[in-house]
Amino acid sequence: MTDLLEIDHASVHFGRSGALARMLGRGTAPVIAVDDVSLGVAAGTATGIVGESGSGKSTLMRSVMGLNQLASGEIRFRGRALARTRDLATRRAIQMVFQDPGTTLNPARTVGSVLEELLAVHRVVPASEVDARVGHLLDLVHLPASIRDARPKRLSGGQKQRVGIARALALEPDLLIADEATSALDVVVQASVLDLLAELRATTGVTLVCITHDLDLVRYVCDDAVVMRHGKVVEQGPVETVFATPSDPYTAELIAAAPTLVGASGEEPA
Ligand SMILES: Nc1ncnc2c1ncn2[C@@H]1O[C@H](COP(=O)(O)OP(=O)(O)OP(=O)(O)O)[C@@H](O)[C@H]1O
Ligand SMILES: [Mg+2]
């Protein structure tokens, strides 16, 4: 069976020809942000992408979204190469939630009106069902119905992130990419958003890709782990295998440096 998402020898380069590059005195050598990466994500699974800052995690997933162009290689979705310009159905099918939910929510709009508009514009459900669907979406992310009339200013960080997730889910994506979706939140709220992501996998069947610095998140939510370093994938496989017997020295270092639950043995502390 082909994977839902197949990344095939993908590379992304950023030119160094702009004003900043000139200021830094670096003329031409491009930054190779993603360097010949291949990986597959099977439908219904959850994959965690970890790796140090600047290792290319966001760039890789932004290229899946169509926000960064590939210098070489190919990305296939449901077995078909993703074109530079995408049809509406494909754009709907791949959704992303970002680290700082506040910045992507329009401060002037109520939560309800944002969701209603999305459902209507994309004709996700007939007009007569929009209202009920908004209620269902809020339920799905465990927000009270009263949130509907609230504007972002009144929401906590965790609530905003839930709205962000509801907005992504409104389009009934096959693939949900969460880029540091919990790292702006405090620890308790992080845990509740993690619970939510784990639960949504089960209830909606959505395929998840979580970019994170948090190895516990990967261990708790994901089936597969991908470790990136300097634009390359240095390790990938089932979470248990990657954490218990890392084959790459960098992964071993990463696990050793993780402060909490994830130990090299894969056991939680008693
Ligand atoms: N728009 C851009 N223009 C130029 N260089 C970029 C751009 N976006 C990313 N880069 C560079 O590409 C490399 C990979 O960055 P990326 O944001 O993908 O890393 P990351 O793994 O997501 O890091 P973090 O964990 O800090 O989010 C870095 O060297 C970064 O400086
Ligand atoms: Mg990033």
- Give the residue ranges of DSSP H helices in 33-156: 57-65, 88-93, 111-121, 130-140
Domain positions in the chain = 5-257
Q: Whose CA is nearest to atom 4 of ligand 1?
A: 14
pLDDT of residue 270: 40
Give the right CATH number for 5-257 from 3.40.718.10, 3.40.50.300, 3.40.50.261, 3.40.50.1100.
3.40.50.300
pLDDT at residue 256 in the model: 84
User: Quick one: pLDDT at residue 105?
Assistant: 84
Report the candidate in 173, 151, 187, 162 with the shortest Cα–Cα distance to residue 41. 173
Ligand 1 atom closest to Cα of 15?
Answer: 4
Q: Which amino acid is at 217?
A: L
CA distance 102 to 105: 6
Looking at residue 193, its pLDDT comes to: 80
34 CA distance to ligand 1 centroid (A)?
A: 9
Structural tokens at position 33: 């942000």
Span from the CA of 51 to the centroid of ligand 2 (angstroms): 10
CA distance 111 to 251: 40
Per-state percent for the chain, helix, strand, coil, to nearest 5: 40, 25, 35
At 36 the pLDDT is 98
Tens digits of residue pLDDT in 22-67:
666 655 678 999 999 999 999 999 999 999 899 999 999 999 999 9
- Give the atom of ligand 1 at the shortest distance from the alpha carbon of 58: 22
Q: Which residue stretches of the chain have pLDDT < 70?
A: 1, 16-28, 101-102, 259-270
Specify the pLDDT at position 213.
83
d(CA 209, CA 222): 8
